[in-house]
């Protein structure tokens, strides 16, 4: 009898321990999913401008976005370290709609390293390179309609108020797309993001585009015709966190209509998927 009772007590203790361990594992899984979800992950890119945020370690994302002239760009990024990420992208024009597709000449690469982590007082600071431009690709000018950021440095600071979270961003960049137009000034960009109710967020950015302001109505040529007017590029976007891993977005670019070679601002869609190894 004592042996029987002891055996049943051992079985009950084992089952209870296993259930407790399972509950802890499930809670841990839920916590990991909660931490690494779009609900509380700062944006790594607003629209065209980067932020100081990076992908979590051992994670990757896949993004597709439309651009002007029926363009489509695919990009993937990999978080190799909590402060360091790499990415590649490729796309073309007239992929959507009619006409023959025109692909980029080369694959573009991205790299970002967060030099300083954000604190209560100080912003996060990151440096990086982004070789992907957007819009029409002017092959004779060796540039995109909206130049790639090239080498950049950016600072980002997040804020939390009640259920809303927001971020402010500012940076400088030097694009390498100036071999033909010789407009190689370093330029400045600003941006902000605001999360509403954990599933909808708003983003906005303003690029002074000091490296894209050679439009001259009195002296039109291939360079000046395809340059900015000097007003800069103001872009806004809406993000919908569809699930913990999937984000959908709607972008409105060049709202100041800073170009003479377009009829209106650009409207675009994007989809981003996040996963872990």
Residues of the chain with pLDDT > 70, as a percent, come to 85
pLDDT of residue 11: 43
Average pLDDT over the chain reads: 84
**3-state DSSP call for residue 229?**
coil
Sequence-ordered list of residues with C-beta below 8 angstroms from that of 204, at least 6 positions apart, any chain: 46, 191, 192, 193, 234, 235, 236, 237
Arithmetic mean of pLDDT, 158-180: 90
d(CA 140, CA 26): 57
**3-state DSSP call for residue 11?**
helix
d(CA 102, CA 95): 8
Q: Which two tokens stand for residue 185?
A: 């000034």
Instruction: Report which of 138, 61, 56 is spatially closest to residue 93, judged by C-alpha positions.
Output: 138
Instruction: Report which of 1, 134, 3 is spatially closest to residue 72, judged by C-alpha positions.
Output: 134
Arithmetic mean of pLDDT, 56-83: 92
pLDDT of residue 216: 75
Least confident of 15-19, 137-141, 193-197, 266-270: 15-19
- In contact, 44 and 51? CB cutoff 8 Å: yes
Given a cut of 60, whether residue 33 has pLDDT beyond it is: no
Q: Which residues make beta-bridge pairs with 126?
A: 114, 154
Instruction: Report which of 153, 150, 194 is spatially closest to residue 172, judged by C-alpha positions.
Output: 153
pLDDT of residue 23: 43
Given a cut of 50, whether residue 21 has pLDDT beyond it is: no
pLDDT band (50, 70, 90) for residue 260: confident
Sequence-ordered list of residues with C-beta below 8 angstroms from that of 108, at least 6 positions apart, any chain: 88, 89, 90, 130, 131, 132, 133, 148
Instruction: Report which of 174, 126, 169, 128 is spatially closest to residue 147, judged by C-alpha positions.
Output: 174
For residue range 227-241, what is the model confidence (pLDDT) as tens digits?
Answer: 888 899 999 999 998
Given a cut of 90, whether residue 175 has pLDDT beyond it is: yes
Arithmetic mean of pLDDT, 162-182: 90
Q: Give the CA-trace dihedral at 103, 249, 272, 130, to 10 degrees.
A: 50
pLDDT of residue 34: 41
Question: DSSP assignment, residue 48?
Answer: S
Given a cut of 80, whether residue 173 has pLDDT beyond it is: yes
CB neighbours of residue 8 within 10 Å: 10
Question: DSSP assignment, residue 231?
Answer: S
pLDDT band (50, 70, 90) for residue 261: confident
For residue range 187-244, what is the model confidence (pLDDT) as tens digits?
Answer: 999 999 998 876 899 999 999 999 998 887 767 777 777 888 889 999 999 999 888 8
pLDDT of residue 128: 96
- In contact, 225 and 140? CB cutoff 8 Å: no
pLDDT of residue 239: 95
pLDDT of residue 40: 66
Question: DSSP assignment, residue 55?
Answer: P
pLDDT of residue 170: 97
Q: Give the CA-trace dihedral at 35, 38, 40, 41, to 10 degrees.
A: 90
pLDDT of residue 61: 94
State pTM to two decimals.
0.82
Instruction: Report which of 254, 260, 262 is spatially closest to residue 225, judged by C-alpha positions.
Output: 260
| DSSP element (H, E) containing 164 | strand 164-174
């Amino acid at each position: 009898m004592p042996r029987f009772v002891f055996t049943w007590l051992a079985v009950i203790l084992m089952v209870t321990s296993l259930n407790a361990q399972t509950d802890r594992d499930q809670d841990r899984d839920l916590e990991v999913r909660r931490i690494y979800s779009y609900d509380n992950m700062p944006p790594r890119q607003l629209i065209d401008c980067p932020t100081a945020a990076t992908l979590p370690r051992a994670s990757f994302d896949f993004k597709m976005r439309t651009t002007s002239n029926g363009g489509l760009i695919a990009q993937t990024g990999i978080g190799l370290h909590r402060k360091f990420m790499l990415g590649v992208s490729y796309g073309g024009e007239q992929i959507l709609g009619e006409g023959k597709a025109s692909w980029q000449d080369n694959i573009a690469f991205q790299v970002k390293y967060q030099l300083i982590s954000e604190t209560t007082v100080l912003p996060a600071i990151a440096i990086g390179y982004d070789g992907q431009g957007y819009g029409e690709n002017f092959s004779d000018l060796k540039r995109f309609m909206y130049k790639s950021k090239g080498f950049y440095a950016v600072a980002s600071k997040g804020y939390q108020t009640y259920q809303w979270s927001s971020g402010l961003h500012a940076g400088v960049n030097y694009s390498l797309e100036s071999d033909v137009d010789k407009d190689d000034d370093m330029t400045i960009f600003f941006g902000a993001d605001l999360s509403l109710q954990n599933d909808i967020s708003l983003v906005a950015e303003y690029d002074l585009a000091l490296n894209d302001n050679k439009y001259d109505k009195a002296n039109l040529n291939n360079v000046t015709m395809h340059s900015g007017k000097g007003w800069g590029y103001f872009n806004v976007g809406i993000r919908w966190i569809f699930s913990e891993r999937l984000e959908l977005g709607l972008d409105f670019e060049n709202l100041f209509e800073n170009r003479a070679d377009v009829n209106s601002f650009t409207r675009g869609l994007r989809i981003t998927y996040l996963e872990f190894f």
